[in-house]
Amino acid sequence: MRVLVTGGAGFIGGHAVERLAARGDQVVVFDSLAAHKEPPPLPDGVELIVGDLRDERALERAVEGVDAVCHQAARVGLGVDFDDVGDYVADNDGGTANLLRALWRRSFTGRLVVASSMVVYGEGRYRCPDHGDVRAAPRDREDLDNGRFEPRCPHCGADLAWAPVDEDARLDPRNVYAATKVQTEHLSFLYGRESGARVCALRYHNVYGPRMPRDTPYAGVASIFRSALESGSAPRVFEDGRQTRDFVHVHDVARANLLALDGDWTGACNIASGEPRSVGDMARALAADSGLESVVTGEYRLGDVRHIVAAPDLAAEALGFRAETGFAEGMRAFANDPLRD
């Protein structure tokens, strides 16, 4: 199988490329290399096309003769502030549109696997003791300033308990990056309906592991904590550290991409470990052997969500995917894993 991997020199894309090449697929990597100080090493036999998703000629060359596409290229993370909106929309939605147009022009009807994210859900699923399932309202700055981090029931004001969110949940993006991932999904599924291509969107939860990008304004919290420890500083945990997430290892995420590329199932799937932990748990696990203790700061970012935990059942049923790396094992390794500059 000839597979195009956009963003294939990046974090998740690079691990997927290694697995594809190891099993004998022909792999074409399309990457701007803008996030790299120097070109990263790729497995023998992998073709690298340097270009970004605005380059029509480079895209035409990249999609030629491919049987499947693994679309990982994106501007990731929460960003700095709303001033990033143009760059996020151009890179994520405009870039996806350009890729889909290139595929349309060559009448591509093969397998398309698209990287999405748990951020499309906004806040996760919540239950009130008296009112059952309710939707959490957008976070209020006054509450956050006063250390009230838990979402409250819109009917009675009681604190809500989180519950796993499944793929049928309403999409409710609460930051710019999240909005672009919703649009990326919609454009891709529209392409599938128009072309007959089989499209699967993988909604990654908090991915971590070797070669994760080093601390930047766009890095995930795992990378930020890991970078702090490497520099001899204690991880700074926002809010009260009790925010709940699902941390899933990049080796599992890469394997999920191959399962999706090989399968016929269409739709969106959560890609998660099924082992929820708090952000404070993660900071403590990473710092366990460092002699440092994480610091809970009470700071917050308005665009963050409080609790978002996946229901992993559909991925198991539709793709045969179950995470294999447990939280304790993965964090122990990640404390010493190399990061990407």
Contacts of 38 (CB under 8 A, 6+ apart): none
- Following DSSP, what letter does each residue of 118-170 receive, concatenated? GGGG-S-EEEETTTEEEPPPPPPHHHHHTT--S-B-TTT-PBPEEE-B-TTSP
Buried b (16+ CB within 10 A) or exposed e, 294-327: bebeeebeebbbbbbbbbbebbeebbebebebeb
Who's near 219: CB < 8 A, 6+ residues apart?
77, 212, 213, 227
| HSE-CB of 210 using CA atoms within 13 angstroms | 10
Check residue 29 and give its pLDDT: 98
Per-residue model confidence (pLDDT) at position 219: 63
Q: Which amino acid makes up residue 102?
A: A
Please tell me the distance from the alpha carbon of residue 111 to that of residue 77, in angstroms, as a whole number. Answer: 26
The DSSP bridge partners found for residue 333 are none
Distance of CA 237 to the CA centre of its chain: 20
Q: What pLDDT does residue 95 have? A: 96
Q: What pLDDT score was predicted for residue 217?
A: 56
Task: DSSP for 217-245, please give it.
Answer: TTS-HHHHHHHHHHTT---EE-TTS--EE
Is the sign of the CA dihedral 75, 79, 84, 85 positive or negative? positive
232 CB-contact burial (10 Å; exposed 0-12 / middle 13-18 / buried 19+):
exposed
> Which residues lie across from 295 on neighbouring strands?
236
Rounded Cα distance, 139 and 114, in Å: 29
Provide φ and ψ at 19, rounded to 5°.
-70, -40
Tell me, rounded to whole angstroms, the distance of Cα 217 from its chain centroid.
Answer: 16
Strands 47-50 and 68-71: unpaired
pLDDT tens, N- to C-terminus, the chain (341 residues): 999 999 999 999 999 999 999 999 999 999 999 878 777 889 999 999 999 999 999 999 999 999 999 999 998 876 667 888 999 999 999 999 999 999 999 999 999 999 999 999 988 899 999 999 998 877 889 999 999 999 989 899 888 999 999 999 999 998 899 999 999 999 999 999 999 999 999 999 999 999 998 866 556 789 899 999 989 999 999 999 999 999 999 999 999 999 999 999 999 999 999 999 999 999 999 999 898 999 999 999 887 889 999 999 999 999 999 999 999 999 999 999 998 87
DSSP letter at 310? B
| pLDDT at site 15 | 97
Q: Position of tokens 């447990």?
A: 326
Residue of 182, 194, 166 lying closest to 114 (CA atoms) = 182
CA Rg value for the chain: 20
pLDDT of residue 78: 64
pLDDT (0 to 100) of residue 226: 92
How far is residue 12's CA from residue 9's CA, in Å, rounded to a whole number? 9
- By C-alpha distance, which of 279, 274, 302, 164 is closest to 221? 279
CB-CB contact of 17 with 5 (8 Å): yes
